Amino acid sequence: MPIFNQSIRRKIVGIALGLIVLMLVTSVLSMVMSSQVGVLLDELTNRYIPAYSHLARANIRSLERALALRQMVMTRMGSSSDEEAYAARLRDFQALDRKFEEEAETARKLINAIIDDPRTYSDNAALARLDVRIESAVAELRRDLDEGNARLVKQVDAKDMPAARGTLEHLDILRDAFNRKIDAIRADMLAQVFFSTSQVISRQHQAIVVSGVVTLLAAIVGLVFALLVSSGITRPVRLLLAGAREVEAGRFDKTITVSTQDEIGELAAAFNRMTEQLRHNERIRETFGRYIDPKVVQGLIDRPEVAIDGERRVMTIMFCDMSGFTSMSEGMTPRGLVRVMNHYFTVMSAPIRSNRGVIDKYIGDAIMSYWGPPFIEEGEQALLAGTAAIEMADQVPALQRQLPDLLGIRAMPAPCDLRIGIATGEVLTGSIGSELMMSFTVMGDAVNLASRLEAVNKVYGTRILISQATAEAIGSQLELREIDRLAVAGQTAPQAIFEVMARAGALTDAQFGLRTHYAEALAAYRARRFDAARAAFGAALEAVPGDGPSRTMLGRIAQFEAGPPDQGWDGAWRLDSK
């Protein structure tokens, strides 16, 4: 409909103008009909009723005229003739005669005025007959009375009383006949008055009805248009509200049907464009979420100043590498290598993500990830990293079984395993790179230490090694074993390194014995009681045959005993010396 293609302002103004027009029509009709009622009332009060009154007074004047005539006759018939009194009575008689004619003539003029007025709906034929009857009655009365009055005066002057009485009786008969005619005319005139009154009442009632009908029509039309316009506004608004709730819930596939071309329609079209852009942005986010950790993306969106300025924070960094990868990849095709690496990264990335870690990058077959503010609380980071490392190590047996199937071979040419290094310390977070390409990453000694610890697993034959700061943050929440003291390049003071053995309370008896014997052996080794240390390391190997750290330390005791005495020896192993 064309109305729905107009702007909201035009719709509202249109409804208001329509109601104003209807109100004006109602007012004009009321004024016209009121004016008609006014005309009828004016005719009733100024013509009908006065005409009837003049007829009634004409009747009264005829009676007064007859009485004056008698008085005049009685004055003339007195014993002493009083010409002055007679003259006074004659003047009264003549004055009443003129008034009688004036009343009748005035009544006729008013009746003719009613007939001549085209604005009223009078019975003109009936009024014309009344006019003729009044004229005829007055003319007959005038003719007969003039003759009778002249004869009566002559008879009175001649003192012929019997004849004068006969003439008076004849005049009374004529007057009674005239009065009867006037009464009939008045009765018909009264009927016309009643007719005019009914016309006034009818027109007034009609005016009330028409005004009420037009007012009701205006209200109905206004209500209908208001409902149409309001529904045309509220329906798309409700759709917009439902769409906004869908977007708030993260569902961007909601589109709004644009049914109007007003501001609401433009808003609906803008909403559809917005949801399309949000879907596009979500696809970009999902796509880049595979290349950049979603937490980093969200963090950069929420706090872009961190990426620009950088911050120093205490974080826990993990490096994970697959041992034996180099020898395994030499005989692979590029497609097979990509398939193996994608599966390996998928399996190993899941525990990191599930424990709220941020994957920083993939370096060859290595994974670098970190935990810390603003993504998690500082007190949780070490435990989450250690838990993720245990879960990653738990995936190794299944991964070793799956790799031959992925490569299409019966058995792996070289065994593969996992090496993880975790360190906690202050690092610099921010965007590092060039003007062409940036990477949000972490840098610092803790990063270097984690990388070194990952590599040191090869020396000790372990899977998971953590720094002293990490071990202190974990405490008793995981089962840890101190392995050695390690001094890396750039650090003067060595620090203890620990192996993550299992979750809290999950040690087997053999592992518990291993940790106990190893702790005794490590204390004897640092005190240079090599015989006791050798015996304790041997006991540790008996508890868990093949324990890498125990064999490594026994080999180191053999080296120290065979080599020259080390004056600065403090029981720590310096990585930069190897």
Q: For the segment 559-568, what is each residue's pLDDT rounded down to a tens digit?
A: 888 765 554 4
DSSP-based three-state secondary structure for 234: helix
The model's pLDDT over 184-201, given as tens digits with 9 standing for 90+, comes to 777 777 777 777 777 767
Residues 6+ apart with CB under 8 A from 151: 167
Q: Residues 232-250: what's their mean pLDDT?
A: 73
Task: Report the DSSP beta bridge partners of residue 484.
Answer: 497
Query: Do 201 and 52 form a contact (C-beta atoms < 8 A)?
Result: no
Residue 7's pLDDT is 64
Structure confidence at residue 136 as a pLDDT band (50, 70, 90): confident
Q: β-strands 417-433, 464-467: how paired?
A: parallel
Give the model's confidence band at 577: pLDDT under 50 very low, under 70 low, under 90 confident, else very high. Answer: very low
Q: Which residues pair with 482 in a beta bridge?
A: 498
Residue-level pLDDT at 502: 94
pLDDT of residue 92: 75
Q: CA–CA separation, 61 vs 50, rounded Å? A: 16
Region 548-554: mean pLDDT is 94
* Least confident span in 83-97, 312-326, 360-374: 83-97
**pLDDT for 114:** 77
Three-state SS at 252 = coil
Whether residue 490 has pLDDT greater than 70: no
Q: Do 441 and 360 meet the contact criterion of CB atoms below 8 Å apart?
A: yes
pLDDT of 512 > 80? The answer is yes
Give residue 113's pLDDT band: very low, low, confident or very high (50, 70, 90).
confident
Average pLDDT, the chain: 78
137 confidence band (pLDDT: 50, 70, 90) = confident
